[in-house]
Amino acid sequence: MSTAYLSHPDCHRHDMGPGHPECPQRLDAIEDWLIASGIGETLVRLAAPRVDLADVERAHTHGYVAELAEVLQACASSGNSHSMDPDTVANPHTWAAALRAAGAAVEATRLVLDGRHENAFCAVRPPGHHATRDQTMGFCFFNNVAVAARYALDVRGLKRVAVVDFDVHHGNGTEDIIAGDERVLMVSIFQHPLYPYNGAVPKGENMINVPVPAYTKGLEVRELVEAMWMPALERFRPEMLFISAGFDAHRDDDLGQLGLLEADYEWLTLRIMEVAKRHAKGRIVSCLEGGYHLGALARSVGVHLRALSGA
């Protein structure tokens, strides 16, 4: 088993300002933990390429991509920052970072489908699962996982893929893009009510949304996953799985109020891997989403990667 680890310095240069929780130090914390734990030595490290905008437009509208390119390229040229919404800010490096983040997801998909690696993790930012077909929101510009899933379907010819989202926030952007697409099953669990304050009612029959109240702990999450996710995934028999890997449901993370621990993220990863082994030749691409307590994020990514790599 080999696990590809895709990242790029451009993802570190995207910065939404002092005090913003989605900060460059998130990638530093992960890297420090990988070195200290030795897990990094088990991974195949690769530089994320820039995405082809034709691949982005499989998930986003042409008009949105063109408008975003204009705004972000203007930031790059002027050296100024620009507020996309109250939570989401572009700086002069955001365009390059967004291209690398989506590019990592597509490249990881290509590598896994080509049999170069059994699975892959994209240590990238900005995250993606709140970006809808035509709107930035929630720290997100391009929906990295949705772009990759559509690449697998539309370019590589897969017939069924699953998206698994365990971020504390509902992946409303991914749902907006893939709801009603019978080739995709999305299963998610998230705190509700919490930003973006939707998801309790799924937008399509291909969505298994599992909203849980604040202070739900890991054992309860595991029971819900077994009852709600696993039967749907078994029936669907995905040929590849994509993970929106948010680690902000951790007990120590202040952006949510759930009670997951590192052992719960390891368990979730192993259960997803079991589905992948039965139906998808082990093929998984995981993309970093949330996780804002630096220590909890680093440790949680560490167990996620240890499971994926079999280290």
Which of 8, 14, 93, 130 is flagged as catalytic? 130
What pLDDT, in 10s, does the model give residues 277-307? 999 999 999 999 999 999 999 999 999 999 9
Query: What is the tens place of the pLDDT at every residue in 9-66?
Result: 999 999 999 999 999 999 999 999 999 999 999 999 999 999 999 999 999 999 999 9
pLDDT of residue 141: 98
pLDDT of residue 311: 85
| CA distances (Å), origin 218, targets 41, 132, 192, 260 | 29, 29, 16, 5
The verdict on whether 82 is a catalytic residue reads: no
**Residue spans per domain, the chain:** 3-309
Which pTM does this prediction carry? Answer: 0.98
For residues 164-179, give the mean pLDDT. Answer: 98
Give residues with Cβ within 8 angstroms of 62, minimum separation 6: none
| pLDDT tens figures, 109-120 | 999 999 999 999
Cα(69)–Cα(72) distance, integer angstroms: 5
- The CATH number given to 3-309 is 3.40.800.20
pLDDT at residue 280 in the model: 98
